[in-house]
Structures are given as C-alpha cells and as structure tokens.
Amino acid sequence: MSTTTTTMTSKTKIDILIPAIEKDLATLPYVIASARENINHPIGRILIVAPKRKRIMELCRRLEVTFVDEDTLLPITKKHINYRSKRWDRSGWIFQQLLKWCGDSLCTAKFYLVMDADTVLIRPHTFLEGNKKVFYSRRWSHQQYFKAYHKLLGKKVTSPSSFVTHYMLLEKAKVSELKKAIEAKHHTSWYQAILQNIDKTKLYAYSEFETYGNFLYAQDPSRIVFRKALNKDLHQSITKLSIEQRKQLARKYRSLSFHKRRGYFLKPQQSKASKHAKAPKHAIAPKNLVLKDQNKRKETLP
C-alpha cells in the first residue's frame, strides 16, 4: 500500500454549495460573484440548493449555476422539523444546516465549500495549504453548540477557536465519516439524531460548522490552520454599497454579511420567561472561548 500523502494546494478544484431561499435573491448574485472572484481554487460546479421556485430557478439559469431542489436531498423536508416557539420559528435554519452535509453525495469534487447565501467575500481566500485545511474562525460561540456536539459524539470541544463564520470548506469523505459516527452512536439516521439531540427550546441549538470543525480538530489539530474570520455584519442592502465602499471595508474585513433575520421572529423577542431563566451551571467548551449566554441577554440572532 502506498504511503504517499496527497498534497492539497490552491490548485485543488472545489465545488460550492449554497442553500438559499427567496429572501436571499437580492444578495445571492453578489455571493456567487464574490466566490468566483475571491476563492483561490479552481471552481467546479456551483450548486444552489433551494425551494423549487420560479424566481430562484431563473436566477440560477441566468448566473449559469446548478439549481438543486432542496426537497430531493433528504427523506424529510422543512415541514417535518418542529423547531419553533411562540416567539420564533427556526425550522428552516436547521434544515439548511442539514442540507449542507448532503454535499458528500451531491458534489463531484473531493472538497466543497458551503456558503451562507447572505455573506459576500471581499478578500481572496485559500482553504487548503499543503496538507493542512484552513478555517476562518472567531473567538466566541454559543454554549448550546458545544452541548449538541457532546450529545452527538460523546466528546468535549477542544478547539481554541470557533468554526462559525458563514462559510467552510468540507471534505466529502470526512462528512460521510462524521455522519456514520453519529449514526453508530445513536442507532438512527444522522439527521434524525441531530434533530433528536438538540435543545429546541433554545434559539441557538446547533451548529453544523462547529460540529464538523471540532470533529476534524479532535482527529488531528496539527492539520488545522486558523485564520481570523474578520466578518462584518451590515444592516443595509448590498445594492447600496458602492465598489469604493467595498474596497475600504476590505482593508479591515474579509467578508460582509447582510442578514435578514427578522423573519424568524413571530412575536416580540423579549419575555419574562427568557429574561429570568437561570443559566446552565456548566458549559462544555474550552475556557478561552467566550460563550454567549442566551439566557442572560435579549434573544437576538448571531
């Protein structure tokens, strides 16, 4: 058996998978254009996984990307996910996280980049260097993400940084390995195991990025390279951002996010129950990571 290690460089071709819905139609063309301009890898297919809607399908044809009906990838759809309270409904948010892990059978390249449909890259990005994988990271996260990881895999998080940054390169073989590990532990499908083991009373119950990243880090931290995400959340339309403004922002940031999360909320965010709830005694996470305690602050989205 050969012991030669395949060298992974910026010459490695990658696919791109972007889950989207109709609210993303304004940003999606910019997201795709920014990926083509700022990813230092040959790009294979760009797949938009979305509801079968005329406007989305027409946009995919115009931008010459592949449309994939989101309801064809799993035995369940968004309507089967009950992740909501009297104040919010985040069933779609969890569903798009599950869809990202379907790339191991959907994509043709060995690696595929998953991107949120509201985040635009404004600086060049490389995701493979030699035999190491590059992750753009941040220094804070939510404690429920680590609790979900512990429930799913029976391990504590050891990474010094958070993997939640709106985009991530996934290796198909590792995604398959992770899903099999979850299924072996819970004796059910990987997606049902996730849905059954997250706390659906919490606004931030689970992160696909945190789970995948920590799974890889636990295997071999020496093969992981962290870079600061330097993401900026802008509360304005991307169409109102000039090229010159983007250049100015690129001096300080790597990416821009244009979140439209008001739609998650069904009623006013604050309630006496959430305001006075007791915080959990323990958080399963490294001490140097800042944990945002969702029980002690107003329920807003990250």
DSSP for 273-290, written as a single string:
HHHHPPPPS---S-TTSE
CA–CA dist 201, 5 (Å, integer): 45
The string over 46-75, giving b where at least 16 C-beta atoms fall within 10 Å of a residue's C-beta and e elsewhere, is bbbbbeeeeebeebbeeeebebbebeebee
DSSP H helices, the chain, are 28-38, 54-63, 91-100, 103-106, 143-153, 172-186, 190-197, 208-219, 243-250, 272-276
| pLDDT of res. 274 | 41
pLDDT band at 108 (very low <50, low <70, confident <90, very high): very high
- 289 pLDDT above the threshold of 80: no
Instruction: Compare 202 and 295 and report the one with higher pLDDT.
Output: 202
Confirm if 173 and 242 have CB atoms less than 8 A apart: no
Q: Tell me which amino acid residue 63 is.
A: L
Residues near 80 by beta carbon (within 8 Å), at least 6 away in sequence? none
- 161 pLDDT above the threshold of 90: yes
Name the DSSP letter for residue 7: P
| pLDDT of res. 267 | 53
Say what the alpha-carbon torsion angle 54, 56, 62, 67 is, to the nearest 10 degrees. Answer: -100
Is residue 132 within a helix (H) or strand (E), and if so which, with residue range?
strand 132-137
| pLDDT of res. 9 | 55
pTM of the model: 0.86
Average pLDDT of the residues of the chain: 88
- 52 pLDDT above the threshold of 70: yes
Question: What tokens appear for 165 in the block?
Answer: 């940054």
| pLDDT of res. 286 | 63
- 2 pLDDT above the threshold of 80: no
pLDDT digits (tens, 9 = 90+) for 208-227: 999 999 999 999 999 999 99
Q: 199: burial class by Cβ within 10 Å (0-12, 13-18, 19+)?
A: middle
For 14-266+278-292, CATH number out of 3.40.50.300, 3.40.50.2300, 3.90.550.10, 3.30.565.10 equals 3.90.550.10
pLDDT digits (tens, 9 = 90+) for 60-106: 999 999 999 999 999 999 999 999 998 999 999 999 999 999 999 99
pLDDT band at 278 (very low <50, low <70, confident <90, very high): very low
Every domain of the chain and the residues it spans = 14-266+278-292
| pLDDT of res. 287 | 59
| pLDDT of res. 155 | 95
| pLDDT of res. 37 | 97
Confirm if 228 and 137 have CB atoms less than 8 A apart: yes
CA–CA dist 300, 156 (Å, integer): 26
pLDDT digits (tens, 9 = 90+) for 218-269: 999 999 999 999 999 998 999 999 999 999 999 999 999 998 765 555 655 4
- 33 pLDDT above the threshold of 90: yes
pLDDT digits (tens, 9 = 90+) for 162-203: 999 899 999 999 999 999 999 999 999 999 999 999 999 999
| pLDDT of res. 4 | 42
CA–CA dist 265, 90 (Å, integer): 9
SS3 call for 252: coil
Q: Express as a percent the part of the chain with pLDDT over 70.
A: 83
Instruction: Calculate mean pLDDT across residues 16-31.
Output: 97
| pLDDT of res. 259 | 82
